[in-house]
Amino acid sequence: MSKLEYNIFENAIDSIKHGIEHFLDAHMYKKQEGRNYKYALLLAIQGVELFLKERLLRINPVLIYANIDRPITEDSTTVNFKALPQRLMNAGISLTKEWLAAIEEGRKIRNRIEHKDVSFSLKETRWLLGRTFRFLIQFAREELGTELKEHLTDSEYEQLIRQSGFFEEIYAHAESKAEEVATELEATGTEVEIWHCPECEAKTIVMGFETGTTSLYTDVCPMCKFKVYLAQCTQCGRITITTEEPGTYYFCSGYCEYQFHGVL
């Protein structure tokens, strides 16, 4: 090799492949499990970030840079992970709620691993990888015009499918458990609704409505483990749920967009 040379897409594929290698070392061969699961997550999430930048690149190469109004050089900073989804949507790319949730969760997980103490169970780690792999497969197909399996070995792609299937199995189980809780409450005469978790979009948050009272029967999402709170807009009265802790300012999304303070 005369020089190191990867374009963004090739770099993404390389990250994904190495993420799968670390996963296999941990999951199948039980080698340095903590270390390998950590790098499997980091590399898979890096693949997500690079896929998003590749999509921007295909619209206009300038769009991958943070400040598009300054002269572009080899040292110019690219747009950060957090800003990528909005940059894509501003450029006309439609991102589903499921995709947005997967992207944001991946960004937060990477930040926790790189900058904070972190602790995940094996089940949580496999779920996070499964969700990330599922996003990569779908985004490659729908936005990059390619099948991810064309760029991986058969055994590598098999692991992507297996872990994506694990994610779907856990997802379905969590939503099924929410249905069971709702059915039990309805049997007592309580009016019940199941809401989507604001963090991971799983339909797992059971809400009860009795005379003049709204109750949160699920305060921790069984999928993403985020704690949820009830909040009520002081402008229009809309009740919503949030993963932001008490004392935070919220915007009444979807209704009056009023900024309000506090939780119920």
Q: Quick one: 157 and 192 in the same domain?
A: no
The answer on 222 and 255 residing in a single domain is: yes
205 vs 242 pLDDT, higher one = 205
Q: Of 171, 42, 53, whose CA–CA distance to 109 is shortest?
A: 42
Give the range of the structural domain holding residue 236, as residue numbers without chain letter.
Answer: 178-261
**What pLDDT is stored for residue 202 in this prediction?**
81
Same domain for 112 and 221, yes or no, is: no
Q: Which residues of 113-125 are buried (b: 16+ CB within 10 A; e: fewer)?
A: beeeeeebeeebb
Q: What is residue 4's DSSP assignment?
A: -
Q: Are residues 53 and 161 in the same domain?
A: yes
245 half-sphere exposure, CB direction, 13 A CA radius: 0
CA atoms of 173 and 190, how far apart (whole Å): 23
Claim to verify: residue 86 and residue 211 sit in the same structural domain: no
The helix/strand/coil state of 66 is: coil
Q: pLDDT tens, 87-96?
A: 999 999 999 9
Please name the residues in contact with 193: beta carbons below 8 A apart, sequence gap of 6 or more: 182, 206, 207, 209
Q: pLDDT tens-digit profile of 178-194?
A: 899 889 988 988 888 89
Q: Are residues 144 and 194 in the same domain?
A: no
Model confidence pTM above 0.75: no
**pLDDT in the model for residue 13:** 97
Are 142 and 246 found together in one domain? no
Q: Are strands 259-261 and 249-251 parallel, antiparallel or unpaired?
A: antiparallel
Is 14 part of a structural domain of the chain? yes
Separation of alpha carbons 54 and 79, rounded Å: 12
| E-strand stretches of 159-252 | 191-196, 203-210, 213-216, 229-232, 239-242, 249-251
User: Which span out of 58-62, 156-160, 195-199, 231-235 was modeled with the highest average pLDDT?
Assistant: 58-62
Residue 183 in domain: yes
Of the residues 137, 172, 207, the one at which a domain ends? 172
Predicted confidence (pLDDT) per residue in 5-61, tens digit: 789 999 999 999 999 999 989 887 788 888 999 999 999 999 999 999 999 999 999
Please count the structural domains in the chain.
2
